[in-house]
A = this chain, B = another copy of it.
Amino acid sequence: MTSNKAKVDLRDVARLAGVSLGSASRAINGAGASQAVQQKVEQAAAQLGYRPNHAAQSLRSRLSRTLGCLLPDIANPLYAQVFRALEDELLGVGYLPLLANGANDEDREVRALSMFTHRGMDGVILAPGNERSARLADALKALPMPAVIFDRELPGQHDSVLIDHAAGVRGAVERLMQFGHRRIALAVWQGDTRPVRRRIQGYRAAFTGAGLAVPDLVVQAENVTASAFAEISGLLARPHSPTALIVQGTHMLTSALRAVAARGLRMPEDISIIAIGDTPFAREHDPAVSVLTIDMQVAARHLVSLVLSRINEPSLPARRERVDLRYEHRGSVVGSSRR
């Protein structure tokens, strides 16, 4: 300990370095100081153990170097992955993500946005639970900082990063067709959100694109956290039960596996399965489950780049980036043997 003051401030550093406060600031921020000053200030700062005061920086520069991240549910591995990727991406450029759980609760989402405003976030990344919430739309419109939407379609012009669910699911269906499957089922959540809509859309497009009738094999679970066991069991009990199944998320995957087992079927011999979203569970299952994966690094990179560029250039036109759903083949998909 060299000082006996409670806290070291930049003034102390400047004094020890024998330069003015302004020069010390410039040196610390690497903004136009001579080699000599730079060196002296850095040494003084190190010697005193100087840490800049973020509140003061923030107040003066009007930049918090923080991005509010409003995600539906951090317990969902998908969003946990996004957050983790955002963290990696932001930390590298001196930014920080501030996470808030939306919890599919309009009220909570609006409050989070308000909190982001109060806390002076430089920008916001958000994936609201409900795309049609008027209150959220209003809150979003009133936001004083730029926002980027993740995988949702909201009214108005926004920068957004969209996962290409339609193409992904279509590709998966086509892959299954190549394996000889025709009775291909799709299990998704109930609820009218972009991911669900697009997946169904892609599913249909695969059949119509192949000149086939779209089979009546789409089931929707009651809500995001519900098991789809009953729905999938019902599907499997039909006379011409599906030979392949695409399911949304880990949760539905486990339901599907249970339904398959309960019916005395084997995977993949009797039914091939593709899950949407990669998880350790899918990877380590036996057989490992083929998945449509999202490269969250890529998604995060786009999100960050969109919001940071707009902070610097607010008048940019609204942009949208697409992120592919990549098919990863594993043991859960084989040729169809049943007719």
Instruction: Write the residues of chain A forming the contact surface with B, with a CB cutoff of 8 angstroms.
Output: 51-56, 58-59, 64, 74-75, 77, 80-81, 83-84, 87, 91, 96, 98-101, 103, 111, 115, 117-120, 225, 227, 229, 251, 254-255, 258, 261-262, 280-281, 284-286
Q: Provide the bound-state CA to CA distance between A54 and B114, in Å.
A: 12
Check if B251 sits within 8 Å of A280, measured CB to CB. Answer: yes
Check if B75 sits within 8 Å of A225, measured CB to CB. Answer: no
Check if B64 sits within 8 Å of A75, measured CB to CB. Answer: no
Check if A74 sits within 8 Å of B83, measured CB to CB. Answer: yes
CB distance from A265 to the nearest CB of B (A): 13
Q: Provide the bound-state CA to CA distance between A230 and B280, in Å.
A: 16
Q: Provide the bound-state CA to CA distance between A25 and B153, in Å.
A: 40
Check if B101 sits within 8 Å of A99, measured CB to CB. Answer: no
On whether A55 and B51 interact (CB within 8 A), knowing A84-B74, A251-B280, the answer reads no
- Residue A54 contacts which of B53, B119, B227 (CB distance < 8 angstroms)? B119
Q: Provide the bound-state CA to CA distance between A261 and B261, in Å.
A: 10
Q: Provide the bound-state CA to CA distance between A225 and B279, in Å.
A: 11
Q: Provide the bound-state CA to CA distance between A285 and B285, in Å.
A: 16
On whether A255 and B284 interact (CB within 8 A), knowing A75-B80, A84-B75, A115-B96, the answer reads yes
Check if B87 sits within 8 Å of A52, measured CB to CB. Answer: no
Top 9 closest A-B pairs, CB basis?
A55-B58, A75-B80, A55-B59, A227-B284, A54-B119, A74-B80, A99-B99, A55-B55, A56-B59
Q: Provide the bound-state CA to CA distance between A98 and B65, in Å.
A: 14
Main secondary structure of the interface of A (DSSP, over half): helix
CB distance from A189 to the nearest CB of B (A): 13
Neighbouring B residues of A54 by C-beta, 8 Å: 118-120
Neighbouring B residues of A96 by C-beta, 8 Å: 98, 115, 119
Q: Provide the bound-state CA to CA distance between A132 and B294, in Å.
A: 36
CB distance from A50 to the nearest CB of B (A): 11
CB distance from A187 to the nearest CB of B (A): 14
Neighbouring B residues of A58 by C-beta, 8 Å: 55, 58
- Residue A285 contacts which of B120, B254, B286 (CB distance < 8 angstroms)? B254
Q: Provide the bound-state CA to CA distance between A101 and B83, in Å.
A: 9
Q: Which of A52, A255, A262, A280 has the most CB of B within 10 A?
A: A280
Neighbouring B residues of A74 by C-beta, 8 Å: 74, 80, 83-84
Output the nearest chain B residue to A255 by Cβ-Cβ distance: B284
CB distance from A25 to the nearest CB of B (A): 16
A-B contact pairs, 5 of them (CB 8 A): A55-B59, A59-B59, A83-B101, A87-B100, A96-B115
Q: Provide the bound-state CA to CA distance between A12 and B286, in Å.
A: 66
Output the nearest chain B residue to A52 by Cβ-Cβ distance: B118
Neighbouring B residues of A225 by C-beta, 8 Å: 280
Check if A120 sits within 8 Å of B227, measured CB to CB. Answer: no
Check if A251 sits within 8 Å of B119, measured CB to CB. Answer: no
Q: Provide the bound-state CA to CA distance between A255 and B80, in Å.
A: 22
Neighbouring B residues of A81 by C-beta, 8 Å: 75
